Amino acid sequence: MPISIAFYGERGAYTEEAAMATFGKSARYIPERYISDVFDAVENGAEYGVVPIENSIEGPVTQTYDQLSDFKLHISGEIILRISHCLITNPGTRLPEIRKVYSLQQALGQCKEYLQKMRVETIPYFDTAGSVKMLKESRIPGAAAIASSRAAKIYGMKVLARGIETNKRNYTRFFIVSKTEPKDRGNKTSIVFTLKSLPGSLFNALDAFAKNRVNLTYIQSRPVLGQPWTYSFYVDFDGDKGDKRVASALKDLKKATNSVKVLGSYKRAEGWLK
């Protein structure tokens, strides 16, 4: 039996591309409309899920951070994929006819300069490839979508322009999530913590890493649902949770915070997929 991989988006999504580059073509890929659906699928039988976590231009994918806090899943790996966007439409449609462009909000933001020059209406959709599929089925006149050339090929659509992202160094980082932890030791760890309501609480939390010489690589805050102006802090850092210095830092962090959850220790993405 092939392994099952749930991914965010429709067939042809960048998330599916990242998943296929990691797990190969023989795996069974399950498209999911919402990021929360990917987590549900893994909890209910899929062996892995692949979700976007951060884009180098548009920043964090906040829905993924919220699901990491809510679900009892582990981050078991990360993937970094080079993102090159295409303007895609139904066959027979010409570039001067385009008045509306659909895509994921992050993808629209990544192509902002190109779209501003076109002077078109931009309409957010739940997924890049999903917007291509929708245009094929609805045949909205004067409309285009932003997605990958692979999505255009899958749905038999026309590519009007390639490489329309504002910055060519456009990368998205993805997390692989699973019910079980990786067997191999990792070299990177992600956690989430909440703070005590005391002066200097954030300083004390971060000092737990500094004094144990653990290198922080990323920090992101998210509001705590139902507690206005209270935040969770998501942190990535070098090292495995079993490393002596990391274990010591986590011990000190627990003393300085209200709660700490280790989301996973995993192998850092080596290189960027094109």
Indicate if 194 and 261 belong to the same structural domain. yes
Please state, in angstroms and rounded to a whole number, the distance separating the CA atoms of residues 205 and 191: 12
Boundary of a domain, candidates 154, 178, 202: 178
Indicate if 28 and 155 belong to the same structural domain. no
Indicate if 31 and 99 belong to the same structural domain. no
* The pLDDT of residue 19 is above 90: yes
* The pLDDT of residue 235 is above 90: yes
Count of domains in the chain?
Answer: 3
* The pLDDT of residue 20 is above 80: yes
Q: How confident is the model at residue 272 (pLDDT cuts 50, 70, 90)?
A: low
Any idea how long the chain is? 274
Asked whether 64 and 131 are in contact (CB, 8 A), the reply is no
Whole-structure pTM value: 0.94
Q: Is 172 a catalytic residue?
A: yes
Residue labelled with tokens 């960027």: 272
Active-site entry in 7, 39, 71, 174: 174
| Distances in whole angstroms, Cα of residue 90 to Cα of each of 7, 13, 72, 132, 153 | 26, 18, 42, 9, 12
* Mean pLDDT of the region 25-49: 97
In a domain, 273, yes or no: no
Give the range of the structural domain holding residue 23, as residue numbers without chain letter. Answer: 4-82+170-178
Active-site entry in 172, 189, 194, 257: 172
Indicate if 76 and 174 belong to the same structural domain. yes
Indicate if 158 and 101 belong to the same structural domain. yes
Q: How confident is the model at residue 274 (pLDDT cuts 50, 70, 90)?
A: low
Q: Give helix 128-138 / helix 14-23 axis angle, nearest 10°.
A: 120
Please state, in angstroms and rounded to a whole number, the distance separating the CA atoms of residues 14 and 127: 9
Residues sharing a CB contact under 8 Å with residue 234, sequence separation 6 or more, in sequence order? 65, 68, 190, 191, 192, 218, 219, 220, 221, 222, 263
Indicate if 232 and 257 belong to the same structural domain. yes
In a domain, 272, yes or no: no
Indicate if 208 and 245 belong to the same structural domain. yes
Indicate if 74 and 112 belong to the same structural domain. no
Q: Is 174 a catalytic residue?
A: yes
